[in-house]
A and B are shown apart, each in its own frame.
Chain A
Amino acid sequence: EPEVTQTPSHQVTQMGQEVILRCVPISNHLYFYWYRQILGQKVEFLVSFYNNEISEKSEIFDDQFSVERPDGSNFTLKIRSTKLEDSAMYFCASSGVFKLAGGLPSTDTQYFGPGTRLTVL
């Protein structure tokens, strides 16, 4: 069964450094997401991406964050200048898009990757 993959599994970085977290969504999926989970807290939505542009973003997703689909398979999250409070588990997810009976689009189940643990020192 196809799965979402993420690399690296664990990333340690110094405060102020840039990090890029990588995800390979399921190949026929068209909607992509990033979520994060700070230790002991809930899973929080960061951003969604469809049709080569950001579809939705949360208040957390400020100018320090960016997403990109650099080729046909990867989906990346960049944090420009990491802060201590960016330490968290980052999950990528993807979902398929299909048409409802009336022709309106809808998305399928979101499938999650295993996560990247980011530690900012």
Chain B
Amino acid sequence: AQRVTQPEKLLSVFKGAPVELKCNYSYSGSPELFWYVQYSRQRLQLLLRHISRESIKGFTADLNKGETSFHLKKPFAQEEDSAMYYCALRVSNFGNEKLTFGTGTRLTIIP
């Protein structure tokens, strides 16, 4: 069975400092990895997915199959980045669409 681990429940970073939110996964096949974000009083929304290899709001994440990681990074944190961040995994197989989430990391940007 697949599993997603986010080791940090809470992370505080000063504005302008680099941010790294850790995500490790276990799955024997080739998964799809996602980062979802939940801002205060808002719904869960997709931040980025590994197959699109985009940078959204300055965030990037690279899938490292050797280390089974998908860490989320941003070089310079902004106050509006304060939110709950969830890493999620999906088996890339039609009919098996469920997302398996990590426990989430609450990121607080200190002004």
List A residues at the B interface (Cβ < 8 Å).
Answer: 3-4, 31, 33, 35, 41-45, 48, 50, 55-56, 58, 91, 95, 104-107, 109-115
Contacts and interface: CB of A to CB of B under 8 A. Distances in A.
Contacts of A41: 103
B43 A113 contact: yes
Contact of A106 (B94, B98, B102, B104): B94
Contact of B94 (A3, A35, A105, A109): A105
A55 B94 CA distance: 10
B103 A33 contact: no
A112 B43 CA distance: 7
> Which secondary structure dominates where chain A touches chain B?
strand
Nearest to A95: B97
B45 interface: yes
B69 to A, nearest CB: 18
Nearest to B88: A43
Nearest to B42: A114
Nearest to B96: A56
A43 B86 contact: yes
A91 B97 contact: no
Given A3-B43, A112-B43, 20 more contacts: A4-B43, A35-B99, A41-B103, A42-B102, A42-B103, A42-B104, A43-B44, A50-B97, A56-B95, A95-B97, A106-B94, A107-B94, A107-B97, A109-B46, A109-B49, A110-B46, A112-B36, A112-B44, A113-B43, A115-B43
Contacts of A105: 94
A22 to B, nearest CB: 16
Nearest to B49: A109
Contacts of B86: 42-43
A67 to B, nearest CB: 14
A43 B101 contact: yes
A114 B86 CA distance: 16
Nearest to A106: B94
Interface in B61-111: 86, 94-104
A114 B43 contact: yes
